[in-house]
Amino acid sequence: MSDESGPDAGVSDENALRRAIDFFVFAPVGLALTALEDLPGLITKGRQRVEQEISNARIVGKFVVDQGQREVGQRLGDLMGRGEASPSPDAPPSAAAAGEAPTVATEAPDTPVATPKPAPDPADADAVERALAGYDTLSASQVVRRLESLGPDELRAVGRHEASHRNRRTILNRTSQLLDEDAAPATPATE
């Protein structure tokens, strides 16, 4: 039979006691000292991480807000461009018809106000077709090049026709410029 109280038993108890002291006393003290020594680095690392996340959130937020503003501006432009035509029998009732107070739309300062399209005039369509054959198939650049050859009445017809159909700004602007030039009195050249 072997006796457990021999010389090896004391060494084993001593090692167990030493390990317990290391684990319960020295490890927490070492961990606390390491944390205190590394605290400034940990704070800097945490601050950088949080600032990076905030910066990313700001960029994404700005993108979303800008996109939303563009979409709202476009929708307002579409609504304003259609005007308030009489609703079809299948259309849902408007707020005014339902007895609700009308809502006031506010526009962003940089959003252009779309003018309602005028009703198409068959006489303008005929005049435009006579002046510029195949007008509705021409691109804006093709039309603009040909506008200078037209007289004031034809220019006005092109302007009204374009405004009531495709509403291409380049054509409308150039038509307006040419009409303004035609209306301006000629000034004599000075030598």
pLDDT > 90 fraction of the chain, expressed in percent and rounded: 29
Q: List pLDDT tens digits, range 128-162.
A: 899 898 888 999 889 999 999 999 999 999 999 99
Identify the residue with better confidence: 9 or 121: 121
Angle, CA of 33, 38 and 39, to the nearest 5°? 95
Residue 78 to residue 173: CA distance in whole angstroms:
20
Q: Which of 18, 17, 111, 7 lies closest to 66 in space, CA to CA?
A: 111
In the numeric block, the tokens 């603009």 are attached to: 144
What average pLDDT does the structure give for the chain? 78
Q: List pLDDT tens digits, range 161-189.
A: 999 888 899 999 999 999 998 877 666 55
In the numeric block, the tokens 């290391």 are attached to: 22
The pLDDT value recorded for residue 20 is 93
Q: Tell me the residue type at 147.
A: L
Identify the residue with better confidence: 173 or 124: 173
The pLDDT value recorded for residue 44 is 87
The pLDDT value recorded for residue 82 is 60
Binned at pLDDT 50, 70 and 90, residue 114 comes out as low
Mean pLDDT of 54-58: 90
The pLDDT value recorded for residue 84 is 44
Mean pLDDT of 102-113: 49
Binned at pLDDT 50, 70 and 90, residue 80 comes out as confident
Residue 49 to residue 43: CA distance in whole angstroms:
10
Q: Which of 117, 34, 110, 24 lies closest to 72 in space, CA to CA?
A: 110
3-state helix, strand, coil in the chain (%, to 5): 65, 0, 35
